[in-house]
Every structure is written in C-alpha cells, then in structure tokens.
C-alpha cells in the first residue's frame, strides 16, 4: 500500500492557485465544506514519483496569517493544529511572478511555523513579456526553501513541482527571519511561559481567535497579558512584524529579482479604461449578458431536443418491454420522466457555468464587480455585496456564504436577505420550459424573444434585490461605513483545462445534488398519483364507462379518461384539489399546485414533478414539453399554459423563496430562525401578489 502525504495549497487570491490544483489533481478532486462551517473545501489526489500519493487541500485564498475573515481563519486553524487529520506534511505556497513581493509575506509567516514550505512561482510564461528575471539559486538560499518555477498555462514545471513535493523531508524548516525581534522582552517572557511550544504559533493564537489543538485557551489568554493588555498594543506589534517582514523581502528581492520596465508592455491599463468606463463599461457588460443568454438558447436547442425524445422513448420502451406491474409503472411513469425533467437542462446549465467560468478566468468578472460598486453604493449596499449578488446566478447557497467577508453585520444581513432574489441556476429549468411554451420563437434585431425574456428575468431578479436592499437599508438604519477593496487580476486567456474542470464539477454537483431529491420526490409522487382512497379511485373504470357509455370513444380515448379520473381521485389529486382555490386566481390548476409545493425542496423539481404527474397513465410516446403544451384549463377552457399563466408562473418563481436549502443556510449564517422565516413569508407573499396581478391583467 502506497504512503499518502497531506499537501496544503496556500496563496493569495488570483495567484493561479486553482490552476496549480487542477494541474496536480485533474479530475481526481471533490468539493465539500469544512466540518461545522460553510466554507468551501476543495481536495484532490495527485500521484507523485515512487508510488507516493498526495492528498492535496486547496485552502481559501489569504493575504497573510493575520486573519480578517472566516475563510482566512480556516487556513490558520489547519496550520496550527497538528491533531487535525488534514494537517500538512508540506505547505505549498503559490505566488504570482508579477506580485512576488506581496505574496512572500504569507510565505515568510508559514516558514515561521517550521512546516516544510515549498515556494511555487506561477505564470513564468509572463516573465519575458513583463521584463522580469529571477535568480532562483539566490532566492532558494536566502528564503531557506526550494522553488518551483512553473507555468500552468504551458504545463511547464509541473513534474519538477511533483518531485519537490515528494522530497519534502529534505526541505529546511528554518524560519527566514526572527520575528521575535519586534519586542524581545515580550517574546522572551512568552518563551519562558511555554518552553515546549513554538513561539510564532503562540503569537498567532494570542493575536487571533483561532483553535490551538489541545492547548488550554485560558492559559494562552493569560500569556497575552504579560506585556500587552489592549488590542491596540497587539495591533501595533502586528504592524511592526509586517514592516520587518517586508524589509527582509525587499532586501532579498533587490538581488534575487530584476525588472526591466522598458520591456513591460502594458495593455491592461488601456483595456481597464474601456471596460470600467462609466458609460462604455455598462454598455459592454449589457452586450456580454445578451450574448450569453442568446447562446444558451441557440447552442443547446439540438442536444435538449435529443434528450427530450430519448427519455420519452425510454419511458415507452419500459412500458412495452418490461412485464406489467407496479415496478414497471414506477420506472416508466415515475423515475424515468422525473430524471428526464432534470437531465434535459444539462446543456443549458453547462453553458451558463461555461460563460461564468470564462468571465472569471479572463479577469473580466473583477472589473464587473468594480463597475457595479458605483451603482450598489447608492442603494446602501457594501461594494463587497456585489460578489454574492453576481455569484447568486449560480446558486444562492455559496453566494450567501460569500457574505462573510463583509465587515458590517447590518450590511452583511441585508445582502443575505436579498441575495435569493437573483436568478440562480435552479430557476433555469423552470424558466426555460415555461418560456418555450408561452413565448414565441421570433426575433427582434437578431435576438430571440425567448433569450430576451430570459435576460429580462435575470435583470428583474437583480433589480428587485437592489430595491429590497434600499428599503431594508432605510428600515434597519445602517450608519456604519465600509471600504470596498477588490483586486484587479491581470487579463489572461482562459485556460481550457480550468474552464472544463469548473463546468464538469459545477454541472456534476448540480445534477447529482438535484438528482437525489428529484428521484426521491418522483417515487413519492408516482405512489401518490397511482393510488387513492375510496370507491372513486378503486372503481374508476366502471365509473368512466358508465359516464361515457352513450359516446363512442376509441379504446385509447377511454383509457385516457380512466387515467385522468384516477389521477383526479388519487392521493395527489385530492391534495391538489384542496389547494386549487388558493392558486386558481393565478391561472394555475391543481397539478401546477402540486409542482409548486414539491419544488420547495428544490426549484428545479418543478419540471420533474409535472413530468411525473403528466406521465402517470399516459400511453403515448410524447415529450414533456408536448404533454405540458397539450394540458387544458378545465375551469377557463383552452390551454393551461397561456401567455398570462406562463408570465404569472415566471414571476412567481422569480420572487418566491422556494428553496429549503437556502433557508437552512440563512438560518446557519444569521444564527436565528427569525430572518429565514421573515424571508420565506415576505418573498412568498410578494411573489403571490405579483403573479396574481400579472395573470389578472394579462388574461
């Protein structure tokens, strides 16, 4: 059995850490959360020389070990706790060749923890372009480490990096400098109090609220009072430490790095002037959005039609080829249509994640965040609120987690409460199927009506979030001010491997996450739709034959009438009929009502639910879309899915919470049930009123 070592991948944001992680692990990676907290954890397996396996943890981006946010705390707690199962055998610090001075601050701090620390200098392909040259031997000698000079874009230096990781036992654990010189008396007294503990480790515990393995926290707090009793004194010592480290780094880089400014070609400033312009910046962003939504429709239509037909044929095949009985019915009418209701949207969801990944990889997304900050501040939101609101287009859950870097509690709370208004990818299946049913396929100025409708729904969601924030800002009377800081990474061509891995990982987690819920709900719905209480269900065939005995119905028509009668008097039919009076003014029937309730588990279940309900008892080889298009409104007559009822449904899903996972995460982040309950009630009532007005006005 080969030995496995733990490797912690650490670095500042935008140093290409994700690219290094992808280069080492490929598809052997998974995403989860750290135990007990909602901070994303990426880990993977890498095969090293001589049969060694490396368990690689991609830690959240951090500028230093002086934590200012929860995800930076995660980095420190892991590095300080040798009892943690993920405690690294080697720390790999990823730096960017253009920002080496800033990146080395974190490196020198980790070296002080006496963990074998390897320095990776990424983006070496830009050295010639930027006029940078490095004396690697000199840097290795003075930084007391080994250095891997790599380019993930050109796949250069990766094998050398793997070799260095596998030989981590040969690496020096001697610190680069003595940080204790900032206050010799204080650190001497600290050393005497804890002679068996690492000095810099004690210093980090004293200055920050982090876990320290099994050391008694009270004892540590007592040590903090030896010399400094106020937080201000500790802050001043931290600042002294930072200055001392930068003095050391500057001295090393004077000889270890040379930059020929005349060679550096700066296209970045020219692009920034255009992309962050107060007029052209917004116009370009609007065009980018239009292009994305048009492409989502145009590129995915062929694979979607294919998937739709395949699942309809598969369901029909199961009915015809498998022996009759409850299991065959469950498979053909429950499981296959339910899964088909989500699989059909894989192409469009994959394209959405593709575009988001390209925007992030290219560096454009940071410019969008900077651009939108100008708008956000007028509505009382922190500039940092833009990140959750934009990332909410993928999923509200990680977006709400991303609010943890907002310092002001009130601004963070407002961002948490309004983020679910932004259109997440779970709403996409609902939007796409309804838009395809009620919006014609024509074009205006070359842009499809359906793509324009989809974009309008995204803009309505974002606009509602911003207006809601403005109202909450007035109600909660926020007075605190925060400063918006966003790093503008260099522009670069997106790496195919990074984009592909992002699309695969995100789509996979969406499909499997939603798939489990949909499969379970499909089985429950099939049971509720296939069985019912009383004589009206049990004697359905006799009742229908008696009712239509004077009419000359074909065998197929008679079977359809029996199936409809059974469905109406099944458990699900009785439940749907009970809630129908409440949703009838919105233009919905009891079947849509069942889909609304079941989709509270996850919005995307809406389509799967309708697919299951419409498939029960149906012998025709039809697609989900055709079945929905053929549904009749038994109260008003005519099709059930009209322009009025379709717009009503779209607006209901645009504004309603409809996601128990988001409610759970809001409860966790606010540590109270008060806010998620208020969120659920207000958003649902608002959605109902808007949908009601829309239907009554348009019908």
- What is the tens place of the pLDDT at every residue in 619-641? 454 566 677 777 776 666 677 78
Region of poorest pLDDT, from 110-119, 261-270, 352-361: 261-270
Band of pLDDT at residue 444, cut at 50, 70 and 90 = confident
pLDDT at residue 135 greater than cutoff 70: yes
Continuous segment of H or E residues that includes residue 543:
helix 540-547
Strand extents, DSSP E, 296-400? none
- Report pLDDT for 33: 45
Closest CA to 336 of 323, 324, 346, 327: 327
Mean pLDDT computed over 152-169: 90
- What is the tens place of the pLDDT at every residue in 88-117? 999 999 998 888 999 999 999 999 998 999
Residue holding tokens 């982090």? Answer: 210
- Report pLDDT for 137: 92
Decide which of 537 and 115 is more confident.
Answer: 115
Closest CA to 226 of 198, 188, 264, 182: 188
Band of pLDDT at residue 120, cut at 50, 70 and 90 = very high
* CA–CA dist 345, 350 (Å, integer): 8
For the chain, the domains span 4-170, 280-476, 501-698
Cβ atoms of 544 and 536 within 8 Å: the answer is no
- Report pLDDT for 580: 87
* CA–CA dist 544, 558 (Å, integer): 8
* CA–CA dist 444, 436 (Å, integer): 16
Length of the chain equals 699
- Report pLDDT for 36: 42
pLDDT at residue 429 greater than cutoff 90: no
* CA–CA dist 573, 590 (Å, integer): 7
* CA–CA dist 10, 57 (Å, integer): 9
Which residues contact residue 230 at a Cβ distance below 8 angstroms, ignoring those fewer than 6 apart? none
- Report pLDDT for 229: 46
Residue/partner pairs of 395-400 with CB below 8 Å, 24 or more apart: 395/424, 395/425, 395/426, 395/510, 396/420, 396/422, 396/424, 396/659, 396/662, 396/665, 397/661, 397/662, 397/665, 398/40, 399/424, 400/662, 400/665, 400/666, 400/669
User: Does the reported pTM lie above 0.75?
Assistant: no
pLDDT at residue 432 greater than cutoff 80: yes
Residue holding tokens 């609010």? Answer: 403
Mean pLDDT computed over 244-257: 91
Residue 267: how many other CB atoms lie within 10 Å: 10
Cβ atoms of 170 and 7 within 8 Å: the answer is no
* CA–CA dist 251, 101 (Å, integer): 11
* CB burial of residue 548 (10 Å; 0-12, 13-18, 19+): middle
* CA–CA dist 334, 616 (Å, integer): 7
pLDDT at residue 352 greater than cutoff 60: yes
Strand extents, DSSP E, 535-631? none
Continuous segment of H or E residues that includes residue 388:
helix 386-391
- Report pLDDT for 623: 62
- What is the tens place of the pLDDT at every residue in 276-334? 888 888 889 888 877 877 777 678 778 878 887 888 888 888 888 888 788 888 888 77
Band of pLDDT at residue 138, cut at 50, 70 and 90 = very high
CATH for 4-170 (3.40.50.2300, 3.40.50.300, 3.40.1350.10, 3.40.50.1820): 3.40.50.300
Give me the percent of the chain exceeding a pLDDT of 90.
18
- What is the tens place of the pLDDT at every residue in 193-247? 777 778 888 888 777 765 544 444 555 555 545 445 466 777 788 888 889 999 9
Chain centroid to CA 32: how far? 11
3-state helix, strand, coil split of the chain in percent (to 5) is 65, 10, 25
- Two tokens, residue 637: 């007559």
Closest CA to 297 of 247, 242, 345: 345
For the sheet containing 40-47, what is the strand order? 29-33, 40-47, 53-58, 4-11, 90-96, 117-122, 147-149
Band of pLDDT at residue 686, cut at 50, 70 and 90 = very high
DSSP 477: T
pLDDT at residue 655 greater than cutoff 80: yes
Which residues contact residue 89 at a Cβ distance below 8 angstroms, ignoring those fewer than 6 apart? 5, 6, 7, 116, 168
Cβ atoms of 393 and 458 within 8 Å: the answer is yes
Cβ atoms of 149 and 121 within 8 Å: the answer is yes
**Half-sphere exposure in the Cβ direction for 590 (13 Å, CA):** 19
- Report pLDDT for 692: 95
Band of pLDDT at residue 369, cut at 50, 70 and 90 = confident
Band of pLDDT at residue 650, cut at 50, 70 and 90 = very high
Band of pLDDT at residue 430, cut at 50, 70 and 90 = confident
Average pLDDT, the chain: 80
pLDDT at residue 464 greater than cutoff 90: yes
* CA–CA dist 85, 104 (Å, integer): 27
pLDDT at residue 22 greater than cutoff 50: yes
* Alpha helices by DSSP H, 81-177: 100-111, 127-130, 136-143, 158-166
- What is the tens place of the pLDDT at every residue in 166-198? 998 889 888 888 878 888 878 887 788 777 778
pLDDT at residue 132 greater than cutoff 90: no
Question: What is the C-alpha radius of gyration for the chain, rounded to an integer number of angstroms?
Answer: 30
Closest CA to 148 of 69, 205, 94, 77: 94
DSSP 303: H
Band of pLDDT at residue 649, cut at 50, 70 and 90 = very high
- Report pLDDT for 576: 82
Band of pLDDT at residue 455, cut at 50, 70 and 90 = confident
pLDDT at residue 662 greater than cutoff 80: no
* CA–CA dist 186, 198 (Å, integer): 15
């Amino acid at each position: 059995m080969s030995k496995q070592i733990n490797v912690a991948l650490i670095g500042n944001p935008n140093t290409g850490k994700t690219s290094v992680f992808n280069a080492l692990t490929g598809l052997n990676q998974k995403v989860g959360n750290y135990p007990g907290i909602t901070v994303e954890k990426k880990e993977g397996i890498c095969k090293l020389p001589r049969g060694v396996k490396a368990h690689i943890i991609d830690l959240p981006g951090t500028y230093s070990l002086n934590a200012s946010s929860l995800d930076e705390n995660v980095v420190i707690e892991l590095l300080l706790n040798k009892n943690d199962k993920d405690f690294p055998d080697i720390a790999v610090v990823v730096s960017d060749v253009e920002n080496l001075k800033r990146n080395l601050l974190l490196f020198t701090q980790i070296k002080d923890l006496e963990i074998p620390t390897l320095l990776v200098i990424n983006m070496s392909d830009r050295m010639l372009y930027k006029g940078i040259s490095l004396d690697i031997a000199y840097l290795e000698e003075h930084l007391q480490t080994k250095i891997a000079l790599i380019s993930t874009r050109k796949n250069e230096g990766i094998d050398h990096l793997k070799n260095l990781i596998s030989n981590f036992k040969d690496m020096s654990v001697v610190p680069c400098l003595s940080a204790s010189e900032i206050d010799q008396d204080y650190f001497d007294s600290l050393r005497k109090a804890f002679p068996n503990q690492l000095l810099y480790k004690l210093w980090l515990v004293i200055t920050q609220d982090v876990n320290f393995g099994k050391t008694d926290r009270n004892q540590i707090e007592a040590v903090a009072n030896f010399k400094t009793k106020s937080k201000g004194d500790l802050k001043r010592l931290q600042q002294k430490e930072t200055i001392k480290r930068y003095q050391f780094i500057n001295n090393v880089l004077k000889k270890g790095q040379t930059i020929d400014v005349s060679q550096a070609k700066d296209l970045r400033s020219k692009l920034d002037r255009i992309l962050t312009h107060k007029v052209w910046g917004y116009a370009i962003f609007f065009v980018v959005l239009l292009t994305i939504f048009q492409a989502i429709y145009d590129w995915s239509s062929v694979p979607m039609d294919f998937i739709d037909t395949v699942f309809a044929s598969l369901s029909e095949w199961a009915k015809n080829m498998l022996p009759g009985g409850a299991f065959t019915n469950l498979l053909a009418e429950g499981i296959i249509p339910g899964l088909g209701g989500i699989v059909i949207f894989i192409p469009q969801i994959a394209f959405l994640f593709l575009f988001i990944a390209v925007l992030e990889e290219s560096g454009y997304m940071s410019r969008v965040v900077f651009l939108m900050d100008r708008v956000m501040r007028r509505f009382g939101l922190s500039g940092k609120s833009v990140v959750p609101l934009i990332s909410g287009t993928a999923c509200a859950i990680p977006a709400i987690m991303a609010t943890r870097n907002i310092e002001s509690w009130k601004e963070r709370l407002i961002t948490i409460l309004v983020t679910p208004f932004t259109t997440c990818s779970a709403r996409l299946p609902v939007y796409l199927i309804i838009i395809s049913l009620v919006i014609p396929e024509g074009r205006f100025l070359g842009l499809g009506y359906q793509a324009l409708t989809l974009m309008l729904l995204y803009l309505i969601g974002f606009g509602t979030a911003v207006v809601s924030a403005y109202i909450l800002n007035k109600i909660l009377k926020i007075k605190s001010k925060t400063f918006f800081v966003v790093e503008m990474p260099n522009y670069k061509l997106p790496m195919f491997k990074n984009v592909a891995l992002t699309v695969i990982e995100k789509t996979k987690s969406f499909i499997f996450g939603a798939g489990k819920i949909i499969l379970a709900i499909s089985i429950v719905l099939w049971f509720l739709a296939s069985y019912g209480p009383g004589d009206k269900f049990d004697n359905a065939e006799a009742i229908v034959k008696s009712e239509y005995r004077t009419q000359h119905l074909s065998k197929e028509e008679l079977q359809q009438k029996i199936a409809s009668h059974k469905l109406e008097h099944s458990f699900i039919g009785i439940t749907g009929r009970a809630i129908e009076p409440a949703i009838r003014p919105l233009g919905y029937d009891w079947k849509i009502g069942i889909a609304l309730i079941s989709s509270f588990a996850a919005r995307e279940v809406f389509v799967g639910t309708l697919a299951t309900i419409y498939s029960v008892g149906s012998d025709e080889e039809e697609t989900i879309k055709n079945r929905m298009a053929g549904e009749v409104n038994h109260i008003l007559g005519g099709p059930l899915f009209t322009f009025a009822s379709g717009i009503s449904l779209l607006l209901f899903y645009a504004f309603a919470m409809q996601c128990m996972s988001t409610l759970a995460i809001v409860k966790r982040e606010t540590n109270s049930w008060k806010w998620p309950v208020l969120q659920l009630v207000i958003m649902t009532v608002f959605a109902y009123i808007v949908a009601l007005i829309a239907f009554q006005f348009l019908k």
